[in-house]
């Protein structure tokens, strides 16, 4: 049985080519596209190359990190060709994108904008480089009336789901989000959480990723590598089904 893997980077905008090579070395058919140019705004879920992988493989998995995990979870929920999802540093909600002071939906499906949690624009970071985990928590409180509509409908996904997060993630509270997802959708869901890890797990054979917006991401080199070592065999198991 062949497995195609759609590998989705986060908001750094840089494809995870080193990670793609590791998965290819394990025998997987991997696509690692750059899935947005400058803004994560009104991106059609249909624009991801799920069809290409489905045409030449028996099984399709989507592996995403951060905003890429948001996309991966949505593809699992909305595209029934997806058999497995791996969400690294995931979110349980769909979030806005801010450009020129305007908040816009990040995603569309079949021409319709999907709901989102708007950011609390009054929030200010208290540290330098900034940690944004407080922004996400505060925005969920301020927009509590919109949060349920913007929750990723993971219960629609019938496949295998692996979630991995660091308790010290300072970008957004991914460990909390992973637990919320598992509470809604416990069947065929595995959650791996590491206390010392931050936002960017590092798999065996990888170098820590750099680039992207300057911000605090939490964790440490050893903590992020430890999470990667923990997750790697579970990831391969999930891809294999």
Q: What is the mean pLDDT of each run of 10 residues along the chain (241 residues)?
A: 96 94 98 95 97 98 98 98 98 93 94 98 94 97 97 98 98 98 97 97 91 87 97 97 89
* pLDDT on residue 3: 98
DSSP 8-state secondary structure symbol assigned to residue 118: P
Q: Distance between CA atoms of 21 and 44, rounded to whole angstroms?
A: 27
pTM of the model: 0.97
| Strand, helix or coil for residue 237 | helix
Using CA atoms, how far residue 193 sits from 91, 167, 176, 180, 197, in Å, is 14, 7, 10, 13, 8
* pLDDT on residue 213: 83
Q: DSSP letters of 132-199?
A: -HHHHHHHHHHTHHHHHHHB--GGG--SEEEEEEETT-SSS-HHHHHHHHHHH--TTEEEEEETT--S
| Strand, helix or coil for residue 123 | coil
* pLDDT on residue 38: 85
* pLDDT on residue 181: 98
* pLDDT on residue 225: 97
Nearest to 192 by CA among 167, 219, 225, 156: 167
The residues near 126 (Cβ < 8 Å, ≥ 6 apart) are 134
* pLDDT on residue 137: 98
Q: Distance between CA atoms of 3 and 227, rounded to whole angstroms?
A: 24
| Strand, helix or coil for residue 10 | coil
CB-hemisphere CA count at 13 Å for 102?
8
Strands (E), 9-159: 29-31, 43-44, 59-65, 84-88, 96-99, 102-105, 107-109, 112-113
The CA-to-CA distance between both ends of the chain, in Å, stands at 10
* pLDDT on residue 214: 86
């Amino acid at each position: 049985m062949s497995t195609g893997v759609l590998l989705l980077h986060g908001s750094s905008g840089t494809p995870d080519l080193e990670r793609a090579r590791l998965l290819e070395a394990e025998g997987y058919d991997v696509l690692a596209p750059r899935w947005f140019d400058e803004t994560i705004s009104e991106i059609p879920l249909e624009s991801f190359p799920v069809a290409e992988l489905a045409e030449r493989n028996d099984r399709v998995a989507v592996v995403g990190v951060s905003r890429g995990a948001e996309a991966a979870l949505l593809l699992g929920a909305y595209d029934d060709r997806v058999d497995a999802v791996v969400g690294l540093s995931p979110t349980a909600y769909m979030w806005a994108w801010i450009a020129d002071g305007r908040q816009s939906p990040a995603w569309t499906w079949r021409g319709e904008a999907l709901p989102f949690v708007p950011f609390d624009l009054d929030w200010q970071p208290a540290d330098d480089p900034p940690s944004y985990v407080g922004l996400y928590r505060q925005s969920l409180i301020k927009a509590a009336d919109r949060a349920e509509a913007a929750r990723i409908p993971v219960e629609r996904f019938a496949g295998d789901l692996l979630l991995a997060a660091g308790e010290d993630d300072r970008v957004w509270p991914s460990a909390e989000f992973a637990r919320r997802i598992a509470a809604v959708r416990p069947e065929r869901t595995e959650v791996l959480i590491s206390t010392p890890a931050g936002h960017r797990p590092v798999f065996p054979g990888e170098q820590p990723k750099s680039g992207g917006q300057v911000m605090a991401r939490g964790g440490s080199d050893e903590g992020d590598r430890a999470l990667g070592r923990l997750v790697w065999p579970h990831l391969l198991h999930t891809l294999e089904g």
